[in-house]
Amino acid sequence: MLFAFVASHINKKYRLFTLLHAVKSVLENTVLCDRIVISISLDKGIDSVVLDILKKEPKITLLYIDKPTYQFDHYLNIYKNISIDNDDTIIFLDDDDLYDKNLIRKVKENNGEVLRFMMTSFCDAPKKEDRKETRNGDCFTLDTEDDDNWHITEYFQYAIKGHIFKEFFKKDNHICKNKLHKPIGCRDCYYRDLDFGSFVYNYTKDIQYIDEFLYYKRMTT
């Protein structure tokens, strides 16, 4: 089974629309995943109508948390509530990013333990004149530099097997110990993302590379 995991805290109204566009990019892939799992929380005052929209899609499993929740606590919620087999494949999607239409097909064609594909960034209205920009449909793409210090930590550009995801969240994992089960600030949340990216990157020396831009990361301007 191939899962797409989305961890989403909606703190501004526009993020409702970016979330829907993100999910749409999964559903419009040339090959579909088996299941989209979204763990979501909303700030007070945010209209929950988006939850009703998402619930109507048969491929989506929606896990709702009734308080503001950081990204990796959402992944912990998925870990606790979704049955994941060791040989399942997991891909990740931030709630304001997009998949290329061929991402899922490429992942299924290259069924390795850890796959790493290329990421490019985009924004709807670039403001800095010094950025290298190329027109792509209704947005501008900003190619990221080929810098391992950047890419190692960006776990969104990995497809991994289920046993790797589960290993990260085991209680005896030294990376998560004393980190995952306490209130955190945004800075702690950022370092947790780095921990997971490094964990995946260092899990095996046999990483398969797909030399194509398949993940589009939205740049906030």
Could you report the per-residue pLDDT of 68-85, keeping only the tens digit for each? 888 888 998 999 999 999
- Cross-strand bridge partners of residue 210: 117
- φ, ψ of residue 106 in degrees (nearest 5): -65, -40
Beta strand extents in 56-174 (DSSP E only): 60-64, 89-94, 98-99, 114-123, 134-136, 139-143, 158-161
The pLDDT of residue 173 is: 56
CB 111 within 8 A of CB 210: no
Query: Which ranges of the chain does DSSP label H, i.e. alpha helix?
Result: 14-27, 49-55, 71-81, 103-109, 148-151, 162-169, 186-201
Q: Position 54: which residue type?
A: L
**CB neighbours of 74 closer than 8 A, spacing ≥ 6?**
7, 8, 9, 39, 40, 41, 63, 65
pLDDT of residue 131: 39
Alpha carbon distance 113, 203 (integer Å): 10
Q: Please report which confidence band the pLDDT of residue 215 belongs to, taking 50, 70 and 90 as the band edges.
A: very high
Q: What are phi and psi of 89, to 5 degrees?
A: -110, 135
Check residue 147 and give its pLDDT. 46
Which pair of tokens denotes residue 139? 């947005």
Average pLDDT over residues 85-91: 97
**What is the rounded average pLDDT of the residues 167-171?**
80
- Is residue 117 within 8 Å of 212, Cβ to Cβ? yes
Right CATH number for 2-218 from 3.90.550.10, 3.40.50.300, 3.90.226.10, 3.90.1150.10?
3.90.550.10
Please enumerate in sequence order all residues whose Cβ is within 8 A of that of 205, keeping only pairs 6 or more positions apart, or say none.
none
Rg over CA atoms, the chain: 17
Q: What is the pLDDT, as a whole number, of residue 139? A: 39
